[in-house]
Amino acid sequence: MRETDAALARRSREGDAAAFELLVRSHQRMIHSLTYRMTGSPADAEDLAQETFLRAYEQLGSFRGEARFSTWLYRIAINACLNWRQRENRRSQVYAAWAESAEALQTPAEAQSPDEQVQTALMKLPPKQRAAIVLTVCDGLDHREAAHALGSSVATVAWRVFAAKAKLKRLLAKSRSDE
C-alpha cells in the first residue's frame, strides 16, 4: 500500500532521506508544471522546482498535516515563483533595452501553438493573478485551498481569478482573431 504524504513527511522530518525522495518523485511533475506556468521558461521552472523542494525540506517542521501536503508544497512553490518575479523585475530594469529587442524577436501570435498562446497570455497577467488562475483552473484547487497556498483570503483569490479570466479572455480572443 502506498504510504501517505503525511507519513512520508513525518519520516522525512526524522531524517529519512529515502522518504523525502519519494515525496519529491510523486510531486515533481505538479511542481514543475506550476513553476513553468508561472515563469514561461523551462530552465527557470527547473531551478524553481529545485528551490521549492529544498525549501520544503528545510520547512518540514512547519507541516502539521492541517492542509494536504500538496497544498503546503504549492505555497512554497508560489512564494519561490513570486520572489523570482521580484528578482526578475529588478534584473529587467537593468536590461530593459535588451528585453525590448528580445520581445521583438518573439514568435508572432499567429505562428504559436494553442499551448504557447495560453502561456503567452498567462505571462501577461500580474504574477498574483497568474498564480490564482493557475492554481484554481489549471491545477484544480478550490478557492479555499488556493487561498491557503497563496497566503491570502478566499475573497482575494476569487477577485484575482475573476480579473485574470477577464484579461485572459481578451488576450486569447485577440490571439484567435490574429490567426
Output 47 or 88, the one with its CB closest to other proteins.
47
CB of 86 to other proteins, least distance (A): 22
Joined grid coordinates for residue 143:
478557492
Nearer residue to other proteins within complex by CB, 61 or 66 = 61
Q: Three-state SS across the chain?
A: CCCCHHHHHHHHHCCCHHHHHHHHHHHHHHHHHHHHHHHCCHHHHHHHHHHHHHHHHHCHHHCCCCCCHHHHHHHHHHHHHHHHHHHHHHHHHHCHHHHHHHHHCCCCHHHCCHHHHHHHHHHCCCHHHHHHHHHHHHCCCCHHHHHHHHCCCHHHHHHHHHHHHHHHHHHHHHHHHHC
Choice between 29 and 144, CB closer to other proteins: 29
Q: What is the smallest separation between the CB atom of 64 and other proteins, expressed in angstroms?
A: 22
Report the nearest approach of other proteins to the CB of residue 32 (Å): 7
Q: Closest CB to other proteins among 82 and 172? A: 172
Site of interaction with other proteins (CB under 8 A): 17, 20-21, 24-25, 28-29, 32-33, 36-37, 42, 45-46, 49-50, 53-54, 57, 114-115, 118-119, 133, 137-138, 165, 168-169, 172-173, 176
Q: What angle do CA 38, 142, 67 make, to 5 degrees?
A: 90
**Min CB(53)–other proteins separation in Å:** 5
Closest distance between other proteins and the C-beta of residue 74, in Å? 15
Residue closer to other proteins by CB (options 42, 126) is: 42
Sign of the CA dihedral running 153, 140, 131, 110: negative
